[in-house]
Structure 1
Amino acid sequence: MTSSPPRTHVDLAVIGAGPLGAATARHAAEAGARVVVIGPDEPADFADHEGVWAGHYDQGRLCHVLEVPLVTSLLATRSTRRFDDLIGRTGINFLTPTHSVTVMPEAASGVAASTWFDADVLAGNAADLGVAVDRLTPDELAAAYPQLSFEPGHLGLRQRDAFILNPRALVAAELRAAVAAGAELVRDEAVARELVDGQVRVRTARSGTWTADKVVVATGCATNATGLLDRPLQTLTFGATVTLVEVSGPDAVPDMPTMMMLKVRDGDYLFGGIVMAPVQYPDGRWYLKVSGNSLLANPLDTREEIAAWVRTGGRAEDVEETMAVLRDLLPGVELGPARTRPCTVCATPHDRPYIDWADERTVVVVEGERGAMAADEIGRLASGLALTGAWTDTLPAENFRALWAPEGWSTAAAIGRAS
């Protein structure tokens, strides 16, 4: 009779307990693997924060198909189809129905062209996925949402069956399902990963060491900053600012859609980003969430840079920019106090996730900016790759190949080269 493996040995260790790590652990555990998922809990405060920070520490993400590239929308669609089952089995609801409306000028003269706001591309992607969208002329857009005041000459592309996804709650549901399937959740930070005798050894800051047949590194924006990989990835990491503006409640702006908005006036770019319908935050209050203009102003690469950014609490200048956008958009609506929150986002050069081997026993997975809504499917793909050792999905693996960084790579340097 063979002896049982020690508690510290598992089939799969997942480093990172955010959307991608939680989903990877869930799918692996439900496939019958022995799984440990390792990641710290959310810090209580960011004023004196040290270390990395997770972008999912928030209450609202737009979940829709009006995205580029098409593969992003496909991954999100696959995830969405499993959400009812995940909610039903865990009892954690992380979805609120909303209209998703992408607002953009009819003519982009004087503004850099972007497929993010190309109505034909977005509508074509939705059609490829069989999702109905409405094209709204400026007059139709104004008539559909009379409580909102849009910039003249701006049209809309609307998906009626979209959602606001609560990323904190999504992670809680994925982890609850993973634990129910036998995964062990370790609330600690992984500080080292090494190959030893044909296995992978993962050491944590406080909880000890695990060995695993395979490891998935799912540490999001902090991937390069953790030092857990032998070489850095080509990922662009930024400190983003979320501005929250208090309103009286969910009906402060009746039937308000959630918008990706490109605002242009007389050929001048004024705003590009997201304006979310009222969302309730853990303090019990309701806020309009706005994020956009300052994204590229804060490139981050190291653990120390991320921590320093988080301690700022976000870019204070975004408050007045946000208020200007909302005063134009919501005339007559009483807007309460505004405050900022820090966030981190990362992007890949091809705007697609990385799901690839870092070495013969380590898979790395990075979301490529749209992680929450597509996380369940990205985690399923990462789990399958790690457990079977092969790519078996109908989507070509080449879509998700990791791009490794040359010597001297940094977000700031990459942005400088691009400009």
Structure 2
Amino acid sequence: MSDPTRYDLAVIGAGPLGAATARHAAESGASVLVVGPEEPADPAGHEGTWAGYYDQGRLCHVLEVPLMTSLLAMRSRRRFPELIARTGIDFLTPTHSVTVLPAETGERSLWFDRDVLARNAADLGVPVDALDEQELAQAYPGLRFEPGHVALREPDAFILNPRALVAAELSAATAAGATIVRDEVVARDRVGDDVRLTGAGGGTWTAARAVLATGAATNATGLLDRRLATATYGATVVLAEVAGPDAVSMPTMMMMKVRGGEMVFGGIVMAPVEYPDGRWYLKISGSSLLDFPLEGREEIAAWVRTGGHPGDLEMARVLLAELLPDLEVLSLRTRPCLVCATPSDLPYLDWADESTVVLVEGERGAMAADEIGRLAAGLALTGRWSDTIPHAVFAAEWSA
């Protein structure tokens, strides 16, 4: 159904970035529309795009590179208690964030450079512990780490539930007067000085400005006049079912596991969280993260229908048998996910044209989404950048 109302801001996409943008814009007094589909019920028969936030657990911590990622996350994190209290939706579970890596990492990955990660935490005033091989084993006696590996530990980290974060952001947005339409925008046009959006269901809406916050599917939407310089990948999450939250005592780990000079695993192993089916799962991801580049809606939909890369199941089985030899794993299954990457490893938060701001973050976007959305709302509504971080840091790059 068409809506005759003209909004100050229309947000395309109702994931973490879109929901946060809508929330901050509405709370500033603007009239706000946010348009985005519900999560599909069945990936096996899915058509169209997909959102990476369809998940229960993301690590929320500062042991990240580049430093800007951690800074944006810290700004978001400071507002989380108030958002939880106001909406009654708790999306945080305390955890230790432990980055495990070989004592000698060489030139393998900046993401696993212990000195860089420690300096970033120090720059943000967040205490972290450096654990040698013996201290790591003593701290987590139920885990078996590869010989020669050490760690950095952030004791006051969280597992963030991205589905619940989105629910909280949208709850706060609607409380401030925002309108949510559950549809997918299929066209964006200019009508005079306004932006007109058309939904797959036939509805149309107009706004003075728009924010395009469609994540890894941005280029696939067809809503931009040119392609962003981003790469979209079909990622795989392996869910290892356990008996419950007390089945294992463990931190959440970013892990680089090296044996005989070769990396045998690089990714995340998350402490158990409860999923919508009422079961508890450890989440493992990383080995095939960037192995499946995708182009367009059809390739994204086809990837989702696969349910993820089945080869990751054996990787997870071997990893868990070595890491948690006493753990009873009740089942293993894959889930599809989407991630995207920018050349700078930083978000894009920039003008696509004179009326629309484009907003993209990669796989770590959930923990920083509230701050990125705040910045986007300010830029779109006022037309100017007013933050102490230079706007050039978030400049979009466009494909030739």
Report the TM-score when normalising by structure 1.
0.94
Q: Counterparts of 1:246 and 1:370 in 2: how far apart (Å)? A: 24
Other-structure match for 1:160: 155
Q: Counterparts of 1:333 and 1:55 in 2: how far apart (Å)? A: 28
Other-structure match for 1:264: 258
Task: Give CA deviations for 1:171-221 in whole Å, capped at 9, x if unaligned.
Answer: 000000000100000000000001121111111111511111000000000
Q: Counterparts of 2:341 and 2:16 in 1: how far apart (Å)? A: 16
- Residue 333 of structure 1: how far off its partner (Å): 1.2
Other-structure match for 1:51: 48
Other-structure match for 1:125: 120
- Residue 301 of structure 1: how far off its partner (Å): 1.5
SS at match of 1:211: strand
SS at match of 2:237: strand
Q: Counterparts of 1:132 and 1:97 in 2: how far apart (Å)? A: 15
Task: Give CA deviations for 1:359-382 in whole Å, capped at 9, x if unaligned.
Answer: 011000001331100000000000
1:313 aligns with 2:310: no
Cα pair 1:351 1:369 within 8 Å, conserved = no
Deviating beyond 3 angstroms after TM superposition, the runs of 4 or more aligned structure 1 residues are none
What amino acid does structure 2 have at the position aligned with 1:103?
A: V
Other-structure match for 1:367: 361
What amino acid does structure 2 have at the position aligned with 1:237?
A: T
Which of 350, 361, 385 is 1:356 aligned to? Answer: 350
What amino acid does structure 2 have at the position aligned with 1:130?
A: G
What amino acid does structure 2 have at the position aligned with 1:326?
A: L
Task: Give CA deviations for 1:244-273 in whole Å, capped at 9, x if unaligned.
Answer: 01111111112x100000000111110000
Report the TM-score when normalising by structure 2.
0.98
Cα pair 2:273 2:280 within 8 Å, conserved = yes
What amino acid does structure 1 have at the position aligned with 2:169?
A: E
Unaligned runs of 5+ in 1: 1-5, 407-419
Q: Counterparts of 1:332 and 1:75 in 2: how far apart (Å)? A: 38
1:181 aligns with 2:176: yes
- Residue 136 of structure 1: how far off its partner (Å): 0.3
Q: Counterparts of 2:341 and 2:182 in 1: how far apart (Å)? A: 26
1:237 aligns with 2:268: no
Q: Counterparts of 2:45 and 2:224 in 1: how far apart (Å)? A: 27
SS at match of 1:47: helix
1:75 aligns with 2:72: yes
Which of 331, 338, 341 is 1:347 aligned to? Answer: 341
Q: Counterparts of 2:190 and 2:116 in 1: how far apart (Å)? A: 44
Aligned residue pair count: 398
SS at match of 1:380: helix
Task: Give CA deviations for 1:101-152 in whole Å, capped at 9, x if unaligned.
Answer: 000001125xx52110000000000000000000000110000000000000
1:63 aligns with 2:57: no
Cα pair 1:98 1:257 within 8 Å, conserved = yes
Cα pair 2:36 2:184 within 8 Å, conserved = yes
Other-structure match for 1:19: 16
Q: Counterparts of 1:207 and 1:32 in 2: how far apart (Å)? A: 28
- Residue 331 of structure 1: how far off its partner (Å): 1.1
What amino acid does structure 1 have at the position aligned with 2:89?
A: I
Unaligned runs of 5+ in 2: none
Percent identity for Structure 1 against Structure 2: 71
Other-structure match for 1:253: 248
SS at match of 2:183: coil
Cα pair 2:100 2:256 within 8 Å, conserved = yes
What amino acid does structure 1 have at the position aligned with 2:71?
A: L
Which of 71, 91, 96 is 1:94 aligned to? Answer: 91
SS at match of 2:166: helix
